[in-house]
Chain A
Amino acid sequence: MRRFGLVLLATTALSGCHMPGQPQPGPEVPRPEAVMSFAQLYGENCSGCHGADGRNGSAMELANPLYLAIIDDADLRNIITNGEKGTLMPGFGNAVGGNLTDEQVNALVSGMRAKWAKPNVLSGVTAPAWKASQPGDATRGAAVYAQACARCHGNTPQKPGPAGSILDGSFLALVNDQTIRTIVIAGRDDIGQPDWRNVMPGRALTDAEITDLSAWLIAQTPPHPGHPYPLAPHTR
C-alpha cells in the first residue's frame, strides 16, 4: 500500500503538473511597482474607503456608472495621483509620496471603466458637467437647498433631517464644492442618495442650480468648525 502511495506520488511529481505546491508563474511577491492587476491595485489601495467593490464604502461610490460617465480620464488620474484638496482623499502617486506609478494609476482608471462603467447611462440626457464652469451664487443656492435638500437633511444643523445633517460645520470642513457637486449629480444608489434628476420634486436640477448650491453649502462652513464641546446656550 505504501509502495503504491510512493509510486503514485513520484509519478505525479515527475509529471510535474497539478501539484498544489508548484509555484504559479511569475515571482511569488512581485516588486510593488510591477503589480498591474486592477483587482489587486484597487483592493490594496482604494477599497478601504470606497468599499470592497466600489460600493457601500464610507467615501464616494466608484462603481457608479453616472459618476464614471461624467468624469473623464484626466480628472480621475489627477485625483488618484494628487488627491483632492480640502477633502480626505489623499494622493497616491509617487510624486506626492504615494506608492503608485503612473502606469498603475492608468491601470486603475481603465479598470474602473472596464468593470463599472455602463456606456448608455446618459443616452438621451445631458448631465451637468463634472466640473462647474462658472462661480456659484450662494444666495440663490440657499433657495435650492431649501427646495431640494432640506427634506432629508434638515434646515439647520441643530435640526437634521432623516438622512443626517450636511450643514454640520465639521462635515462641511471635510468636503469641498466638488464633493458636493459630484454627489448631487451622480447620486449614490448604494446608500439611497438620488442623482440630480431626482432630488428636486418634479424636475432635474440645472447645472447652475448645482453650482449655486455647492457654493452656498461651502459658505456655511463656520470659521472654527469642529469644536468638540459646543457651549451650552446660557454660557454663550
Chain B
Amino acid sequence: MSWYRRTYDWLERRLQLEGPIKDAVLHPVPKSTASWWYVFGSASAVLLVLQVVTGILLALVYSPSASHAWNILQVLNHQVPLGWFLRAMHGWGSNFMVAVVVIHMAQVFLFGAYKFPRELTWIIGVFLLLLTLGMAFTGQVLRFDQDAYWGLAIGASILGRVPWIGGQLVQLMLGGPIINGATLTRFFALHVFILPGTLLVLTGLHVWMVVKLGINEWPMPGRLVRRETYIQEYNELAHKDGLPFFPGAAWKDAYFAAAILLAVAICAAIFGPYGPTGTPDPTIINTVPRPDPPFLWIYTVLSYLPPEMETPFLLIVPPIVIAVLLGLPFVAGVGEKSWWRRPVAVFTVMFLAVCWASFTHLATSTPWSPKMNAWSGSPIPTAFLEHRTPLERQGANVFQEKQCRNCHSIGGSGGERGPALDDVATRLTEDQLIRQVLLGGGNMPAYGSTLSPPETTALVRFLNTLHPNYQPAASDASRAVAEQGGGPPASTVEPGNGQHKTQ
C-alpha cells in the first residue's frame, strides 16, 4: 500500500467522513434539476467563499481605527502590490453575491421550491439574504470614506426614529451618540466575526437541508404538492428518472461558478476598487455621498417619499416585507409549483424587478438633488448667449450666480431638480416667468427677497430668450392691450439686434 493510501485510511478510520460525503455527492436527483436554472445557489456559496478568502487577506492589512482606516485603503490601493485588485475583487464579489443571492431567491420562488417540505430551507434562505445585505452595508462602512460616513449617518437617523428605544439603538449602533472611533470597531466586529459567523453556520444548515431533502424537481403544471404523498413521489422521480448529483448535475454548477468568478475578476480589473472617496470629514459639505449598488434603490425610495411618510415607511415596511417572506411557505406551502399556473407570483417578480431597476437607475443620476456646483462649473452653452444684449448677458450671470443652474439644466447640463429651461420662454410669458422667480412654488424656492429688481429684470430678460429661433416666445396679448390703455399693441422698446422676440 502506498503511503498516501495508508494516511488516508488512518484518517478515515477516525473521522469516518467517507460515507456521508459519498452519500451527499452521489445521491440521486431528478434529471430535470440538472438545468442551468439551478446553478445560482451553488454560485452564491462559491462567492461566499471568495468573499471569505479575499476578506481574510484584506483583514491582514486593514486596521479598524477611525484615524487610520482611510489611509490604509490608500496604502492598499497604491503601495501593496495588487492590493487594489484584492479590494476590487472583494467589492465586486460583494455586488455579485447580492445579485446572485437575489436571483437565486427569485428562481426558488418561481419554481415553488419553498413549498413542502422545504419551508425551513426557504426561511433560512431569507435570513441568509438579510445577512448578505448586512455584510454589504457593514463592508461599505469599513471603507470609512464620505459615502460610508453619510451611509452611517442615514442608517443612524433611520434607527433613531424607532419609537421609545430609538436613542438606545443609535447608541448601540454607533458606540456613542455620534460617529466615532468606536463605531468603526463595532462595524469591524460585525463584518468580520458576527455576521460572517452566522452566515457560515446558516449556509451550512441550508446546504445540509438541500442535500437531505433533495433538489426541487422541475415544476410541471398540474403536478400538485400534497403533504401526504410528496416525499414518496419525489423519491420515485429521483430514482426512476434521476442521476447522481455528481457529476450529473454538478458540472453545470462548476462551470457557472467559474464564469461568475471570471466575471468578478474582469469587473475588478476594469472598474477597479470602490473608492475610497473623500475622507470621512463632516466639514466637507461639497460631497455627493451615494450608497453602494445594492442600496441605491433605497436611496431613491427615501428621496421620493414625502417627508411625513418617511418614518412610517421605514418602520413599518421592512418588518412587513420580512414577515411576508417568512410567512410565504406557511401560506402557500402546498399546491401548484409551476409558474404557468401562478400568474400572481410571476407578476410580483416582474413588478419588483422593474421597480428595482428603475429606482436603481434613478439613483445613479439623482435627479432629485440639486447639483451643488453647476452654477459655477456648468457654462451656459454658447448658442444660448449668441446675439444677446448686455442686459440679457447680465441675466445669464444672475441665473448662474443665484444658483438657478443647480436645479435647472440648460443645454443638458445642470441640476434636474426642476425642469430643463432650454425652451422655457415658449411655455411661460414674461409675467409668468416673473411670478415663478419671485414666488417660486412646487419645490422651487421663492427668490422675491433675494433678487433685487434689476436682477429680476435681467434674469427674466435672459429667460425670455430661451426659445428656439423657429418658435416665438409665449406672450400675453392682454398685457400689451392693457399697457396701451386698450389701444393696439405697440412696444415702447424698439428691439435691438437679438433683443426682439419673434412675435
Contact = CB atoms under 8 A, between A and B. Distances in A.
Do the two chains bind? Answer: yes
A48 B456 contact: no
Interface centre among B145, B393, B452 (most CB of A within 10 A): B393
Contact of A58 (B85, B377, B396): B396
Interface of B: 74, 77-78, 81-82, 84-85, 88, 145-146, 258, 262, 265-266, 268-273, 275-279, 281, 284, 286-287, 373-380, 382, 385, 388-394, 396-401, 405, 434, 452-458, 460-461, 483-485, 492-499
A171 B455 CA distance: 9
Interface centre among B81, B405, B457, B484 (most CB of A within 10 A): B457
Listed from nearest, the 8 A-B pairs whose CB atoms lie closest are: A164-B389, A21-B272, A226-B453, A58-B396, A226-B454, A160-B496, A173-B454, A170-B454
B457 A228 contact: yes
Interface in A147-181: 153-154, 158-166, 168-171, 173-175
B32 to A, nearest CB: 27
Interface in A21-48: 21-23, 25, 27-32, 43-48
Contacts of A78: none
Given A22-B85, A32-B284, A162-B497, 15 more contacts: A13-B85, A23-B84, A25-B78, A47-B379, A52-B379, A58-B394, A58-B400, A90-B401, A160-B495, A160-B499, A163-B390, A165-B389, A165-B391, A228-B434, A228-B457
Contacts of A234: 485
A64 B452 CA distance: 30
Contacts of B494: 158-160
A28 B277 contact: yes
A227 interface: yes
B394 A21 contact: no
A170 B458 contact: yes
Nearest to A192: B387
A194 interface: no
Interface of B is mostly: helix
24 contacts: A12-B269, A14-B82, A16-B85, A19-B85, A28-B277, A29-B277, A30-B278, A31-B279, A32-B278, A47-B379, A48-B379, A57-B379, A58-B380, A58-B393, A59-B397, A88-B397, A164-B498, A170-B461, A171-B390, A174-B394, A175-B394, A226-B453, A228-B456, A232-B483
A174 B284 contact: no
B286 A32 contact: yes
B64 to A, nearest CB: 20
Contacts of B286: 32, 99
A6 to B, nearest CB: 7
Contacts of A50: 379
Contacts of B85: 13, 16, 19, 21-22
Contacts of A225: 453-454, 457
Contact of A173 (B146, B279, B452, B492): B452
A48 B400 contact: yes
B422 to A, nearest CB: 16
B390 A165 contact: yes
B377 A44 contact: yes
